[in-house]
Amino acid sequence: MTKIIGLTGGIGSGKTTIANYFQEMGVPVYIADDEAKKIMQSQSIVEEIKTIFGEVVFENEVLNRAKLAEIVFKDSNKLNQLNAIIHPAVKKDFELWFQKNKNYNYIIYEAAILFESGRYKDCDIIITVTAPEEVRIERVIKRDETTREKVLDRMKMQWKDEERVLKSNFVITNDNLKNAKEEVVKILKILNIKQNHS
């Protein structure tokens, strides 16, 4: 039976880097945020977004994700409305992907809002990636060419590390990539031991 490992962490924690390393080690990885971006371009989803948010988040009929983000990360009700459109579509997409990868012992479902969305309930094991807050802020400013204020707005909408850690089986501290990769190797060893005895 394939076990689902939920991999999460706050914005800027470097969880996608960790997910990619798991992939290099032979574990299939589904990156929910990347798939959500693709899904947001589908016609039916575009229509739903247009109905709720109007034309202001579109430019020449193309969804302006930066404008949409600015609205939803300042208003939790709007964020919930957006999630109500996106989450069911991502769930369906993941189920199709899962069917293609169910011959593996473990697969990884990577999502920034694993807990906030309730998807953690579908996971057998949960790994949280953490990093010091200042490191996270700097990473996101650099990556997204954004402002500190916008990063903090997004952080406010997510759970705090302390909350995630309490519900996790493993924690990877990602302030140093070499050490973080060693943590991944350790976790894989533990899971393989458990796997052999299950």
| Rounded average pLDDT over 160-166 | 96
Give the domains, in start order, of the chain with CATH numbers: 3-197 (3.40.50.300)
φ, ψ at 63 (rounded to 5°) = -65, 125
Q: What stretches of the chain show up as alpha helix (H) in DSSP?
A: 15-24, 32-39, 43-53, 65-72, 76-100, 133-144, 148-156, 161-166, 177-197
Cα–Cα distance, 117 to 83 (Å, whole number): 8
Q: Are strands 58-59 and 62-63 parallel, antiparallel or unpaired?
A: antiparallel
Judged against a pLDDT cut of 70, whether residue 195 lies above it is answered with: no
pLDDT of residue 106: 95
pLDDT of residue 32: 95
Residue 130 in marked binding region: no
Tens of pLDDT, residues 110-134: 999 999 989 999 999 999 999 999 9
CA dist 35 → 56, 82, 114, 190, 195 (Å)? 24, 15, 14, 29, 29
Residue 198 in marked binding region: no
Q: Please, is 46 exposed, middle or buried when counting C-beta atoms within 10 Å of its C-beta (0-12, 13-18, 19+)? A: middle
- Per-residue pLDDT band at 194 (split at 50, 70, 90): low
pLDDT of residue 61: 84
Judged against a pLDDT cut of 60, whether residue 14 lies above it is answered with: yes
Residue 13 in marked binding region: yes
Q: Provide the percentage of residues in the chain whose pLDDT is more than 90.
A: 87
Mean of the per-residue pLDDT values for the chain? Answer: 93
CA dist 183 → 34, 81, 127, 165, 178 (Å)? 24, 37, 11, 15, 9
Judged against a pLDDT cut of 80, whether residue 193 lies above it is answered with: no
Residue 167 in marked binding region: no
| Rounded average pLDDT over 182-197 | 81
Tens of pLDDT, residues 68-115: 998 998 898 999 999 999 999 999 999 999 999 999 999 999 999 999
Locate 70 and state its tokens. 């600015």
Q: Are strands 125-130 and 58-59 parallel, antiparallel or unpaired?
A: unpaired
The model's pTM is 0.90
- Write the DSSP symbol of residue 62: E
- Per-residue pLDDT band at 198 (split at 50, 70, 90): very low
Top-confidence residue, 19 or 195? 19
